[in-house]
Amino acid sequence: MSFHQDFVWGAATAAYQIEGAAREDGKGPSVWDMCSRIPGFVKDGHTGDIACNHYYRYKEDVQLMKEIGLGAYRLSISWPRVLPEGTGRLNEKGLDFYDRLIDELLNNGITPYVTLFHWDYPQELFKRGGWLNPDSPDWFAEYTKVISDRLSDRVTNWFTQNEPQCYLGLGHSTGTHAPGLKLGHAEFLQATHNSLLAHGKAVQVLRQTSRRPCQIGYAPVGITSYPSDPAPDNIEAARQRTFSITEPHFWMNTWYMDPVLLGRYPEDGLQVFEPWLPEIKSGDMETICQPLDYLGLNIYHGTPTQMGSDHKPEVIPNHDGYPQTLIRWTVSPESLYWGPKFFHERYGLPIVITENGLSSMDWVSLDGKVHDAQRIDFLHRYLREYRRAAADGVPVKGYFCWSFMDNFEWAEGYNERFGLVHVDYRDGKRTIKDSGYWYKSVIESNGDKL
């Protein structure tokens, strides 16, 4: 059994990672523009100033998408490109760019899936407190309305926010991502609550203002534990570990998902975070918990888990060394079976894999091609597990490979290559990798060739 005939095959990127033109045509600075200028913040002093120069080469890039056979493309909007101060004054040149990009995609038979926020928070709003400011949900709602008013006559698929675990946790707790803050638990939880309110208000705005019927999702990291073997106890251990909060840190699922999808914070999280909880005002949870059409999950790897002798989940130790990608994430295809299965069981929504892929050592060979056999093997293994989830009744709607093209990989700079298309950062030349052509054949067969 393969995927349903209406299954969506796509690839994804994010604005700051590919667009470049960081200070051109009226764009305002983002927190990533700010932090990439701090010595040592990004490896090798790299910035997104030019990135892949997609802002000027988008037509060429859309043709490459068409050549690969993508049915859909998940992109993000740069908030400060369209609202340089984050609120108020519109930047028509920025809006015009997204107008042209959406039209180019549609004219080439590629459906746009638009993510409103993929980490490039406006610097001017950061200076006013960012996600700590109680007005931040309304700032995000205003921005959402601008985008809806401009694009919803053509865009019908939306994601509100990408990976809150990262932009809140890495950006506001460990300080390794922009805006580089190391907040205490109380402040971190306040920023998280405001971000969740922003999500809910954005959904409300899209429902109220979209000019066409639309579908809306949310795209957190799907942090997955999977059973070391299919024994019932180990399956239950993996499920428990996927959804439990046992200590006060940010790398978890339910604190970001239960409010959005169930209308409440998880009980174990409330107990763990009790000393630092923000004020939850009347109506907050109703605002956060808006009806969604699908749940996006970014899943790259998982953690093998078994039930311990104390009847608690126990991680299988890495004594022998798991296979790893270049960025040192484990190769664990099982996560694309158990992740969709567990998250659908808990939340009841159809699943879209919004990111999945690997960083590998890719270069243009003497024959002018990029032979990335490891990426093909990786994607093959993961997609077979995703297809197995579909065969077992998990309603899966789509798959977006990360990423369409090599790009600025945040704090790692240009040192990690995730793309189906190779980018030579010296001259910008694009080369479709072997994996891009392999993915094309998978798309053409709707996964039958896996």
Residue 409 is labelled as binding a ligand: yes
Which residues are CB-contacts of 289 (< 8 A; sequence separation ≥ 6)? 200, 259, 260, 261, 262, 263
pLDDT tens per residue across span 140-194 = 999 999 999 999 999 999 999 999 999 999 999 999 999 999 999 999 999 999 9
pTM of the model: 0.98
Name the catalytic one among 19, 104, 163, 385: 163
Cα dist. 57→20, 146, 440 in Å? 10, 25, 22
Which residues are CB-contacts of 55 (< 8 A; sequence separation ≥ 6)? 19, 20, 21, 24, 97
Residue 3 lies in a domain: no
Domain that holds residue 344: 8-444
Residue 272 lies in a domain: yes
Residue 2 lies in a domain: no
Which residues are CB-contacts of 277 (< 8 A; sequence separation ≥ 6)? 186, 189, 270
Q: What is the pLDDT of residue 322?
A: 83
Residue 450 lies in a domain: no
Active site residue 279: no
Active site residue 355: yes
Helix (H) or strand (E) holding 199, with range, is: helix 185-209
Q: The sheet that has 302-307: what strands, in order across it? A: 224-227, 302-307, 313-315
Say how far apart CA 244 and CA 225 lie, in whole Å: 11
Tell me the mean pLDDT in the region 374-396. 98
Residue 445's pLDDT band, with cuts at 50, 70 and 90, is very high
Residue 433 lies in a domain: yes
Cβ(266)–Cβ(259) below 8 Å:
no
Residue 339 lies in a domain: yes
* pLDDT above 80: residue 197: yes
Residue 449 lies in a domain: no
pLDDT tens per residue across span 36-84 = 999 999 999 999 999 999 999 999 999 999 999 999 999 999 999 999 9
Token pair, residue 80, equals 């400060």
Residue 308 lies in a domain: yes
Residue 177 is labelled as binding a ligand: no
Cβ(198)–Cβ(161) below 8 Å:
yes
Average pLDDT of the chain, as a whole number: 97
Residues in a beta bridge with 297: 353
Residues in a beta bridge with 125: none
Cβ(256)–Cβ(273) below 8 Å:
no
Tell me the mean pLDDT in the region 254-265. 98
Cα dist. 74→62, 101, 437 in Å? 12, 12, 19
Residue 53 is labelled as binding a ligand: no
* pLDDT above 90: residue 256: yes
Tell me the mean pLDDT in the region 329-340. 96
Residue 318 is labelled as binding a ligand: no
Helix (H) or strand (E) holding 244, with range, is: none
SS3 205: helix
Nearest-CA neighbor of 352 among 403, 401, 302?
401
For the chain, how many structural domains are there in total? 1
Residue 446 is labelled as binding a ligand: no
Residue 17 is labelled as binding a ligand: yes
Name the catalytic one among 104, 355, 385, 416: 355
Q: What is the pLDDT of residue 1?
A: 64
CATH number at residue 201: 3.20.20.80
* pLDDT above 70: residue 136: yes
